[in-house]
Amino acid sequence: MDIFLQQIINGLVQGSIYALVALGYTMVYGIMGLINFAHGEVVMIGTLVTISVAGFLIKAGMPVIFAGLAGLTVSVLVCMALGWGLERVAYRPLRNAPRLTPLITAIGMSIVLQNVAMIIWGRNYLTFPPLLPSVAFEFGGAHFTAVQVIIVLVSALTMGGLLFLVYRTKLGMAMRATSQNPAVASLMGVNINRVIAAAFIIGSALGALAGIMVGTYYEIAHYQMGFMLGLKAFTAAVLGGIGNLAGAMLGGILLGLIEALGAGYIGDLTGGFLGSHYQDIFAFLVLIVVLMFKPSGLFGEKTGDRA
């Protein structure tokens, strides 16, 4: 039983990380119907910037908590700028292009960002400075740490904040209007460019936050860390119904739980045939099954035919 509880905790934490990244995807998708493939790279940049800033300040003798906050601030700002830049350079000029075109620029940007990061931070794995004290708890035989609790809390709060933003603020209303029909929204006085830029900036800030969480949790970073994470988070977003904030959150947590429980139990259930080597497949299989019955994801609205 303690093992089951432990696996639930593992899945929940991993899922919260997916969710946090998935929120960034869904934020942009919800408004523009565009997969920002480079979002995983934004997360990576967020982690690496934090390492540089916080690492430098800690070395300079600043208390860890302030260095951490400074790192957080700088990396959020850098990622916001990056998100804005991405939108301006790679997506805005293509708003009326065929649907696949921005996908290719996104892939191009993803390659560019990875290589820039490699030039700046080098090819080696970096260690993330321990920003939070490592407090460990034990409950019913399951171990968990303060960092894990914080990750779950942060992603829940973030989702709450985003829901508030989208449904209770003026910017949110403009966002919803843009997502429904950009042409009409602009006729109603919504500055579409600004709304879309805002979505990218907010999404990227979330990316930075996710990057810092990933960094504090695993305490390592690498210029290629964003790719797989982005892919998983994207899967989570689709699972929940892409464009739907609560769906992204639930999709992320579901994905985390599937992976943890799949790796933990399916091996024994199938006599070792489907062991943890198929961990990455469970998620995709569930996704395919879900989409077969609910073609727009668990919580997605039925989408029309996008040109």
Partner 1 sequence: MQAKLSVVALSIASVFALGACGEKEAPKPVEAPVAAPVAPPPKPEVTVKLGHVAPMTGPQAHLGKDNENGAVLAIEELNAQAIEIGGAKIKFELLAEDDQADPKQGTIVAQKLVDAKVTGVIGHLNSGTTIPASKLYSDAGIPQISGSATNPKYTQQGFKTAFRVMANDVQQGKALGEFAAKQGVKTVAIIDDRTAYGQGLADEFKKGAEANGLKVVATEYTNDKATDFKAILTKIKSKKADLVFYGGMDAQGGPMAKQMADLGIKAKFLGGDGVCTPEFMKLGGPATEGHYCSLPGMPLEKLAKGPEFKDKFVKKFNGEIQLYAPYVYDAVMVMADSMKRANSVDPVKFLPEIGKTSYDGVTAKITFDEFGDLMSGAISIYQYKGGKLEYVTTVGAPVEVAKAEVAQAVAEVKDAAMAVAGAATEAGKGAVVAGAEAVKAGADAAKAAVEKK
Partner 2 sequence: MSKWLNPRSAFGITLIVVALLALPFVAAMGGQAWVRILNFAILYVFLALGLNIVVGYAGLLDLGYIAFYAVGAYTYALLASPHFGLHWPFWVILPIGALVACFFGVILGSPTLKLRGDYLAIVTLGFGEIVRIFMNNLNAPINITNGAQGITLIDPVAIGDFKFSTTSQILGISMSGPQKYYYLLLALVILVIIINLRLQNSRVGRAWQAIREDEIAAKAVGINTRNLKLLAFAMGASFGGVAGGVFSAMQGFVSPESFSLIESIMILAMVVLGGMGHIPGVILGAVLLSILPEALRYGVGPIQMAVFGKMLVDPESLRMLIFGLALVLVMRFKPAGLWPSPERKRELSDAGAGNG
Could you list the residues that contact partner 1 (CB under 8 A)?
3, 6-7, 10-11, 13-14, 118, 123-125, 127, 136, 138, 143, 145, 214, 218-220, 222, 224-225, 227-228, 259-264, 267, 272, 275-277, 279-280
**Rounded to whole angstroms, how far apart are CA atoms 67 and 6?**
32
Length of the chain counted residue by residue: 307
**Rounded to whole angstroms, how far apart are CA atoms 151 and 149?**
5
In the shown chain, the binding pattern of residues 91 to 130 toward partner 2, with x for contact by CB under 8 A and - for none, equals --xxxxxxxxxxxxx-xxxxxx-xxx-xx-----------
Name the residue among 211, 232, 223 with its Cα closest to residue 113.
Answer: 223
Shortest distance (Å) from residue 74 CB to partner 1:
23
Q: What does 104 interact with, of partner 2, partner 1, none (CB < 5 to 8 A by kind)? A: partner 2
**Rounded to whole angstroms, how far apart are CA atoms 157 and 249?**
11
Residues 14-53 interacting with partner 2 (rule: CB under 8 A): 29, 33, 35
Shortest distance (Å) from residue 59 CB to partner 2:
26
197 binds partner 2 (CB under 8 A): no
Shortest distance (Å) from residue 147 CB to partner 2:
29
Shortest distance (Å) from residue 3 CB to partner 2:
24
* Span near partner 2 by CB under 8 A; candidates 45-53, 146-154, 250-258, 272-280: 272-280
Residues 220-239 interacting with partner 2 (rule: CB under 8 A): 231, 234-235, 238
281 binds partner 2 (CB under 8 A): yes
**Rounded to whole angstroms, how far apart are CA atoms 88 and 219?**
33
Nearer to partner 1, 71 or 226 (CB): 226
269 binds partner 2 (CB under 8 A): no
180 binds partner 2 (CB under 8 A): no
**Sequential DSSP letters for 138-184:** EETTEEEEHHHHHHHHHHHHHHHHHHHHHHHSHHHHHHHHHHH-HHH
Residues at the site binding partner 2, with contacts judged by CB under 8 A = 29, 33, 35, 89-90, 93-105, 107-112, 114-116, 118-119, 182-183, 231, 234-235, 238, 242, 272-273, 277-278, 280-281, 283-285, 287-288, 291-292, 295-297, 303, 305-307
